[in-house]
């Protein structure tokens, strides 16, 4: 099911969500070298994106490790004890974990992530406030990356995308707006489904679909679980005075290749 929008209005402009969408789009079209799998794109990903092997060893990949990753069968090509010169010695392998949250592998990858961010992010920002929301988003992205690295510590495949951070936002949405209605495209039909069922299906899907299509699905799971736990911890946070708990319709919602894509 593809979400189109939610029936969960906000009372104010959620400017951080708008800024995050704009920043991701700008990075993709103005900073990343291209929208196809060219040698420039591959090199950019190895030079700037997060790579589990680099995080666990504390140094960037060697040319041999990169060549093996690109030309060999999928697998771990991390030479943990290697003393060969690094391909990108000036790369900050830990800062790359943060930067990777703003890189995307294709226009479709970018568009899907930004659609999810807009649908679920604006209500979380409206409830938390801009600063807390930004912290939740960034920490969820880091937790998602840590989950992926913990499962594949020797992987030399770059990982990029905002999905882990957005999954954290979706986890918070499940806690705070479980009965909000999500308008979704289901095959050729447009249907309304409560958020708790939509997000539940999405979460289960991570274990059965994404592992087979080159997606860093553990990052999604890690980010989502973090979002759920963070929202439960912050549950006493109340909406601003005047915030309505019902949509205009009156329906209530009850109680409060060269890279893997996140």
Q: What digits encode the pLDDT tens for the residues 68-109?
A: 998 887 667 888 767 789 989 999 999 999 999 999 989 999
CB-based burial, 208-223: b 16+ in 10 Å, e otherwise:
eebeeeebbbbbbbbb
Name the least confident of 168-172, 225-229, 238-242.
238-242
Reported as a pLDDT band with limits 50, 70 and 90, residue 15 is: very high
Q: What digits encode the pLDDT tens for the residues 156-213?
A: 999 999 999 999 999 999 999 999 999 999 888 999 999 999 999 999 988 887 555 5
Distance CA 206, CA 220 (A): 7
DSSP states along 206-249 = HHHTGGGTTB-HHHHHHHHHHHHHHHHHTTTPPPPTT--SS-TT
Q: Is the pLDDT of residue 251 over 50?
A: no
The pLDDT assigned to 39 comes to 84
pTM of the model: 0.85
Extract the tokens encoding 208: 């059965």
The pLDDT assigned to 224 comes to 98
Mean pLDDT of the chain, nearest integer: 87
Extract the tokens encoding 255: 């109680």
Q: Is the pLDDT of residue 247 over 50?
A: no
The pLDDT assigned to 211 comes to 57
Give me the CATH code for the 2-261 domain, please.
Answer: 1.20.1540.10
User: Number of C-alpha atoms within 13 angstroms, CB side, residue 248?
Assistant: 5
Distance CA 216, CA 256 (A): 31
Residue 3's DSSP bridge partners are 184
Mean pLDDT of 42-51: 94
Mean pLDDT of 15-36: 92
Q: Is the pLDDT of residue 242 over 80?
A: no
> In this predicted model, which residue has the larger pLDDT, 153 or 248?
153
Question: CA distances (Å), 257 to each of 35, 173, 184, in order?
Answer: 13, 32, 30
Pick the closest to residue 259 from 22, 66, 88 (CA basis): 66
The pLDDT assigned to 196 comes to 97
Q: Is the pLDDT of residue 257 over 50?
A: no
Length, in residues, of the chain? 262
> In this predicted model, which residue has the larger pLDDT, 243 or 17?
17
Distance CA 84, CA 54 (A): 14
Q: Is the pLDDT of residue 121 over 50?
A: yes
> For residue 255, which phi and psi values (nearest 5 degrees)?
-65, 150
Mean pLDDT of 53-61: 94
Domain ranges of the chain: 2-261
The pLDDT assigned to 238 comes to 55
Mean pLDDT of 29-58: 89
């Amino acid at each position: 099911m593809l979400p189109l929008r939610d029936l969960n209005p906000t009372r104010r402009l959620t400017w951080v969500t708008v800024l995050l969408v704009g920043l991701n789009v700008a990075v993709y079209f103005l900073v990343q070298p291209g929208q196809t799998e060219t040698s420039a794109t591959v090199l950019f990903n190895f030079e700037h994106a997060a790579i589990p092997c680099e995080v666990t060893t504390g140094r960037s990949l060697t040319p041999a490790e990169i060549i093996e990753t690109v030309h060999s069968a999928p697998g771990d090509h991390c030479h943990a004890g290697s003393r060969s010169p690094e391909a990108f010695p000036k790369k900050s392998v830990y800062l790359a974990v943060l930067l990777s949250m703003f890189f995307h592998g294709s226009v479709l990858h970018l568009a899907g992530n930004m659609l999810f961010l807009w649908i679920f992010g604006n209500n979380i920002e409206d409830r938390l406030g801009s600063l807390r929301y930004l912290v939740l988003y960034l920490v969820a992205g880091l937790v998602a990356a840590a989950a992926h690295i913990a499962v594949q510590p020797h992987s030399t495949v770059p990982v990029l995308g905002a999905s882990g951070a957005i999954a954290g936002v979706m986890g918070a949405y499940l806690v705070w707006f479980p009965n909000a209605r999500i308008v979704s495209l289901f095959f050729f039909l447009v249907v309304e489904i409560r958020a708790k069922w939509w997000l539940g299906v999405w979460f289960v899907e991570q274990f059965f679909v994404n592992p087979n299509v080159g997606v860093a699905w553990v990052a999604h799971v890690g980010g989502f679980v973090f979002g759920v736990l963070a929202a439960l911890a912050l549950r006493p946070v109340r909406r601003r005075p005047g915030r309505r708990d019902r949509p205009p319709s009156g329906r209530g919602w009850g109680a409060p290749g060269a890279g893997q894509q996140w």
